[in-house]
Structure 1
Amino acid sequence: MSAALLCPPAPAAACAGEVPLLPVVGADTRVPLVPGGTTRYVDLDSAASSRALESVAARVAEALPLYASVHRGAGYLSQVSTAAYEDARETVARFVGARTDDVCVLVRHTTDALNLLAGCVPDGEAVLVLDCEHHADLLPWQRRGPLTVLPTAASVVETLRALGAALAAAPYALVAVTGASNVTGESLPLDEVVALAHAAGARVLVDGAQLVPHRRFSLAGSGADYVAFSGHKAYAPFGSGALVGRRDWLDAAPAYLAGGGAVQQVSVEETSWAAAPHRHEGGSPNVLGAVALAAACDALAGLAAEDLAAHERALRERLVDGLGALPGVRVLRIWADSTDPTGVVSFTVAGADPGLVAAYLSAEHGIGVRDGRFCAHPLLARLGVPEGALRASVGVGSTLADVDRLLAALDAFLSAGPRVAYAPVDGRWQPVDDPRPLPGDAARGAGCAPARR
């Protein structure tokens, strides 16, 4: 069914999902197909890394001629770069509703932020997480200990009940919870998680990697104590991220990276460390990454919250409904009673290896999706697909036409099968005779070019 048929005749405005909410770099990029010819690339892998917003790329281009050392440079451009870096910090903190006494540490990505915080939780204090977390919100706590991993129940109501019981049974310093699953887009109601944790004397960390780019989030509004997120999932793929939240643990903890910029005074015998955030930002910071992240935050903040949610909801509903109509396709869900998931949808195709289907979608249709276990092995095992699944994820640059391309390609796979032969190569399915340029050649400009408008 075409997108137009789902829209009422409204001459003034397009339906939600019909056009991109914000322009992204490379939206018209064409890629070669194994059967021959080229097609516009459909990127349905935003949950892994989203494409840069045009406004983000433009802001980085503006900042590049002004780039210089920061914090200790006397030169004019050093002062400009320092101001840009610190302004970016304020923008990022404001974007996630930081309180006046919160601190924003600029890092590389969510994994970096969570490892940083794991070193700040007071020694000996226990952490509680669910088994549906991304590895980035499991492994740092697992390595640190003591840790309790709570099994996810079949419903939101049961999971909250189990969380409350666990908090009542033992003391915890921190509850770490996903803001939105990177496998299904689902989440627990944060206000209820925060209420349960705070009533038991525990703080709450929100893994916001899959939430912050897709829904409005506020530390002050939610009552959460910390949030971590990545620029590369928020349309700023320039190696930046943030940990924002309560200052006391961050000021008391050892420096995350011992080095220049993290200190006040150094002698041969001892070192006096700076307060957070600089305490945890040793070395020369990623100024351009911070500028890019701030630009993305500004662009997302400029969207009406209801428009952002409606756009993604329209895409997800089209995708889930379309997948449900295909024979042998199962859409994965954590909780039957969850509401308002983000635009992340994982699914399986009966009798088909997920890697083969993903390779087919790329080679024969120019569609990029994810396959595998999505750095969430315990969750995939709980959902009954320990071998992995497929994942399609949308963002502000996605449209209903992109979703329809995927559904049509899957229908062709189920009805006619691949047009070329595939075989595993180093653990990944590949066309047996692939005429396309090697990935390295394509990255240098061979074979992939923007479409002419």
Structure 2
Amino acid sequence: MTAVLSAPVCAVSPFATVSGCDLEVPLVQGGTCTYANFDYAASAPALAAVTDRVTNLLPYYASVHRGAGYASRVSTACYESARESVSRFVCAANDQVVVFTRNTTDSLNLLAACVPGDTVVLDIEHHANLLAWQRRGRRVVTAAATIEATIDRIEAELCAKPAALLAITGASNVTGEVLPIARLARLAHRWGARILVDAAQLAPHRRIDLQACGVDYLALSGHKLYAPFGAGVLVGRRDWLDAAEPYLAGGGAVREVTTTGTEWAPAPQRHEAGSPNVLGVAALAAACDALGGLDDSAVRSHERELCARLRDGLSVLPGVELLRVFADSADCVGIVAFTVAGHEPGAVAAYLSAEHGIGVRDGRFCAHPLLARLGYDSAVRASIGLGTSSADVDRLITAVAQLVGSGPAWGYGKADGQWNPVPETRPFPGADTGDGSAPCQLGAEVR
């Protein structure tokens, strides 16, 4: 069986400026092929502009805010100017500060310790936006079958009992469905609450204007924004951040320390104790600068065409079912989750990788309540990014069609919850063999 495909939208992505776009990977049956990355939603590869900026900064890497040497001055200037890049990228208001963190989860946990009251969340959220509030007055609203009915439920909850914050995802990390954040911001403010947007999945695909949308707080991760160097950000209104206890107690977060007390600095320094991740922050700023310079309409059009091509190609295959939360969702970022009847998602992912050189994600995507309410134990997720081409999409559709039509050509087994080829014939570079020479060979059979 083969899927029916129209002429390619484009043979190569017009935005193929990411590392690894020409990566050759081994196949279990022998030979190699160019890697087709459909796992952007988990961790996106670095933009060329990001790796260039990190490479240029490395010779100047030094202490930040703590040295008079030239390298230290350069590192400090780079670190502080990164706040301007992030602020400009999300159109932050004058009273919103940029706090650098490790990732979105870190940002949400930081804010959770600052909120003076209850937080309302949906049950469709990523675990980061569920668990952060668990010990701090979390009120969970069950999403309805439509966005409209879900908004009604959120308003009913805010109306029934005052809340300090509405914490909402910008785009589902499972289905890519985008929520109307400007409308939700107006709703939250109407009932005296502020709004936080988990933009981990939204920011890599959509330009966000915090002022135009009325969003009070926003969290995102560099590793999903083409800056995989361990930095994230929380952007938000200063008052709660200034009033809260420091996220970490340590150097850099203080104005004055005595043996009997401490005068803490205001935000953002108040919540950035310790030696900062200078390279990660520089990478994040570079990604914001590079993405901000792209034609947003062209990027969205490219993504829309590829997503439609992928959904159309998969939906006609027997036994393939696409996941969806809302019947009335009109906009989605580049994420498509699906299942294949008769094949565990983990086995599908292993097959795509081993026999076709295609990388996807399988599992519950740190969104267990959402998968449960959709009626799935797990699924396969294909996510699209700037380096994705129509040729990549066609490869994925064809590979799934072959699986549906004739099954895998190789054997697969499950051990410790992980599906693997049996036997595994591909080498895995990067593992230490003890002498620094050949990569390790994972050839043991899985029984």
User: Which TM-score bucket, shorter chain as reference?
Assistant: over 0.9
Change (3 A) 1:440 1:76: closer
Q: Please, which of 257, 260, 271 is the counterpart of residue 262 of structure 2?
A: 271
Name the residue aligned to 1:370: 361
Which AA in structure 1 matches 2:424? D
Separation in 2, partners of 1:323, 1:353: 17
Q: Which moved more, 1:433-442 or 1:327-336?
A: 433-442
Residues in 1 aligned to 2:344 and 2:364: alpha-carbon distance in whole angstroms: 12
Matched with 1:426 is 416
Distance of 1:391 and 1:219 partners within structure 2: 29
Paired position in structure 1 for 2:427:
437
User: Which of 15, 21, 42 is equivalent to 1:21?
Assistant: 15
Please tell me the residue identity of whatever aligns with 2:129: D
* 1:150 has 2:152 as partner: no
SS state of the match for residue 372, structure 2?
helix
Alignment partners' CA distance in 2, 1:299 and 1:438: 32
Q: Relative to 1, partners in 2 of residues 1:121 and 1:365: Cα closer, same or farther, differing over 3 Å? A: same
Q: Which residue matches 1:451?
A: none
What CA distance in whole angstroms lies between the structure 1 residues aligned with 2:72 and 2:359?
40
Pairwise CA RMSD: 1.7
User: Given the alignment of the two structures, is residue 107 of structure 1 paired with residue 97 of structure 2, yes or no?
Assistant: no
What is the Cα deviation at residue 447 of structure 1? 7.2
Following the alignment from structure 1 to structure 2, what is the Cα–Cα distance between the partners of residues 280 and 2? 54
Distance in 1 separating the partners of 2:321 and 2:4: 23
Cα deviation 1:351-387 (Å, max 9, x = unaligned): 21000000000111110000000000000011110x1
Q: Distance in 2 between matches of 1:446 and 1:322?
A: 40
| Amino acid across the alignment from 2:126 | H
The residue identity in structure 1 corresponding to 2:303 is E
Please tell me whether the aligned partners of residues 437 and 446 of structure 1 are also in contact (alpha carbons under 8 angstroms). Answer: no
Q: Deviations over 1:30-79 (max 9, x none)?
A: 11111111111111000000000111101100000111101121111111
Map of 1:318-329 to 2, 5 A cutoff?
A: 318-329=309-320
SS in 1 for 2:86: helix
Q: Does 1:54 align with 2:48?
A: yes
In structure 2, C-alpha distance between the alignment counterparts of 1:159 and 1:435, rounded to whole Å: 49
- Equivalent residue for 2:387? 397
Deviation at 1:399, TM superposition (A): 0.8
Query: Which secondary structure does the structure 2 equivalent of 1:84 belong to?
Result: helix
Aligned partners of 2:49 and 2:286 also within 8 Å: yes
Q: Which runs of 5+ in 1 are unaligned?
A: 8-14, 449-453
AA aligned to 2:111 is L
How many angstroms apart in 2 are the aligned matches of 1:252 and 1:143?
19
C-alpha distance in 1, partners of 2:438/2:306?
A: 32
Matched, 1:216 2:235: no
Which residue of structure 2 lines up, in the alignment, with residue 304 of structure 1?
295
TM-score of the superposed pair, with normalisation by structure 2:
0.95
Q: Provide the residue aligned with 1:11 in structure 2.
A: none
Question: Does the Cα contact within 8 Å between 1:68 and 1:78 map onto a contact in 2?
Answer: yes
Letter matched to residue 220 of structure 1:
Q
In structure 1, the residue matched to 2:370 is 379
Looking at structure 1, the residues matched to 160 and 90 of structure 2 have their Cα atoms a distance apart, in angstroms, of: 32
1:10 alignment counterpart: none
User: Does residue 152 of structure 2 align to residue 161 of structure 1?
Assistant: yes
What is the aligned partner in structure 2 of residue 136 from structure 1? 128
1:5 partner SS: coil
Instruction: Look up the match of 2:195.
Output: 204
Cα distance in 1 between the residues matched to 2:429 and 2:134: 36
Whether the aligned pair in 1 keeps the contact of 2:5 and 2:313 (CA below 8 Å) is no
- The residue type paired with residue 118 of structure 1 is A
Residue 187 (structure 1) shift: 2.3
8 Å CA contact retained: 1:21, 1:311 = no
In structure 2, relative to structure 1, the CA distance for the partners of 1:38 and 1:159 (3 Å cut) is same
Rounded to whole Å, the distance in 1 between the matches of 2:16 and 2:185 is: 32
CA contact (8 A) 2:125 2:367 kept: yes
TM-score, normalized by length of structure 1?
0.93
Hey, what's the Cα distance between the residues in 2 that align with 1:76 and 1:439? 38
**Cα drift, residue 418 of structure 1:** 1.1
Partner of 2:445: none
Name the CA distance, whole Å, in 1 between partners of 2:362 and 2:333: 18
Q: How far apart, CA to CA, are the structure 2 residues paired with 1:143 and 1:33?
A: 46
Task: Tell me the matched-pair count.
Answer: 436
Partner of 1:98: 92
Q: Any conservation in 2 of the 1:173–1:201 contact (CA below 8 Å)?
A: yes
Cα displacement string for residues 176-199 of structure 1 (whole angstroms, at most 9, x for unaligned residues): 000000000112211211111100
Alpha-carbon distance in structure 2 between the residues aligned to 1:3 and 1:446: 41
Are 1:356 and 2:350 matched, yes or no?
no
Q: Which is worse superposed, 308-317 or 373-382?
A: 308-317
**Would you say the 8 A contact 1:3–1:400 is kept in 2?**
no
Does the residue aligned with 1:414 lie in a helix, a strand or coil? helix
Q: CA deviation at 1:416?
A: 1.3
Identity %: 59
Residue of structure 1 in register with 2:81 after alignment? 87
Residue 5 of structure 1: CA displacement?
2.0
Q: Is the 1:436–1:447 contact (alpha carbons within 8 Å) kept by the matching residues of 2?
A: no
Structure 2 stretches lacking a partner, 5+ long: 441-447
